[in-house]
Amino acid sequence: MPRYAQLVMGPAGSGKSTYCSTMLEHCQALNRSVQVVNLDPAAEHFDYPVMADIRELIQVDDVMEDDSLRFGPNGGLIFCMEYFANNFDWLEESLGHVEDDYILFDCPGQIELYTHLPVMKQLVEQLQQWEFRVCGVFLVDSQFMVETFKFISGVMAALSAMVMLETPQVNIMTKMDLLSPKAKKEIEKYLDPDMYSMMEDNSVALRSKKFKKLTKAICGLIDDYSMVRFLPFDRTDEEGISIVLQHIDFSIQYGEDLEFKEPKEIDGEPSNTNFDEFFQDGDDS
């Protein structure tokens, strides 16, 4: 029997721990067995039980206080994660060998772990050796994504993680419940974006011809190949949470022995979510 894993990634402050807590509560309400593993050696607290905590292996504070290392916060965290990569036997012992496990890995917020350092790639390969089907869940703060150029930056970070880890990936805009109705309506265009239209809308701000050409090339990559799309995540919306979980389950074929289901469709086309219902709810608030 396969095992299942979500690697919950994203920049610092994007809502990874809140996502894990919300998803854990949602799965418990569905009588689904889901566990959470903390992989952030700098974490201070979380409001959910964990089956394993990397701080039992190594902590950032201990590394920073070591006079022979003299690392700062970022260097200390990288050191911790490299130490973790050399001690995967600790994780294997903590996880056990339970078939049909479904585990959320709450990862650190240093973006370089997902773009050019090998640690998370090594973790994915190790989990796959342990018969885990792994899905990357990349979170970005919706409050950060309401401007076109910030949105492009977030897309490129998500794309870098996708290319680096070589796993199925679901990209999520978090903290939708914190947006005003006006901002929620504005961000609708970023969930399923027309990059060329967005480029034209902001062409006045692009004074440099070289920068405009580069931005156009990036927009073309995103738009032509449909490589990155986002799902909205509102922790107060049970239906929206269910849709996110359904997409993730579908990507790792969770419950393949159960009745076959595909993510919801709108007008016969696969959709990231039911936009009409979601934004109608937002307009009424």
HEC secondary structure over the chain: CCEEEEEEECCCCCCHHHHHHHHHHHHHHCCCCCEEEECCCCCCCCCCCCCEEHHHCCCHHHHHHCCCCCCCHHHHHHHHHHHHHCCHHHHHHHHCCCCCCEEEEECCCCHHHHCCCCHHHHHHHHHHHCCEEEEEEEEEEHHHCCCHHHHHHHHHHHHHHHHHHCCCEEEEEECHHHCCHHHHHHCHHHHCCCHHHHHHHCHHHCCCHHHHHHHHHHHHHHHHHCCCCEEECCCCCHHHHHHHHHHHHHHCCCCCCCCCCCCCEECCEECCCCHHHHHHHHHHC
Cα distance between residue 40 and residue 76, in whole Å:
12
Is 100 among the domain residues?
yes
Please give the model's pTM, rounded to 2 decimal places: 0.84
Is 259 among the domain residues?
no
Q: What is the mean pLDDT of each run of 10 residues along the chain (285 residues)?
A: 93 93 95 94 88 95 89 92 96 87 94 90 96 96 83 87 93 92 84 74 64 80 77 94 96 74 50 45 47
Indicate the number of domains in the chain.
1
Q: What is the pLDDT of residue 83?
A: 96
Is 113 among the domain residues?
yes
> Domain containing 117: what range?
3-200+228-252
User: Strand pairing partners for 265?
Assistant: 270
Is 128 among the domain residues?
yes
Q: What is the pLDDT of residue 203?
A: 57
Is 124 among the domain residues?
yes
Is 161 among the domain residues?
yes
Which pair of tokens denotes residue 232? 């909205």
Q: What is the pLDDT of residue 225?
A: 65
Is 68 among the domain residues?
yes
Q: Which residue has the tokens 């994780």?
A: 91
- CATH number for the domain harbouring residue 107: 3.40.50.300
Q: What is the pLDDT of residue 259?
A: 54
Is 67 among the domain residues?
yes
Cα distance between residue 245 and residue 6, in whole Å:
10
Which pair of tokens denotes residue 146? 């309401």
Cα distance between residue 132 and residue 257, in whole Å:
16
Find, among 63, 68, 75, the residue nearest to 110 by Cα: 75
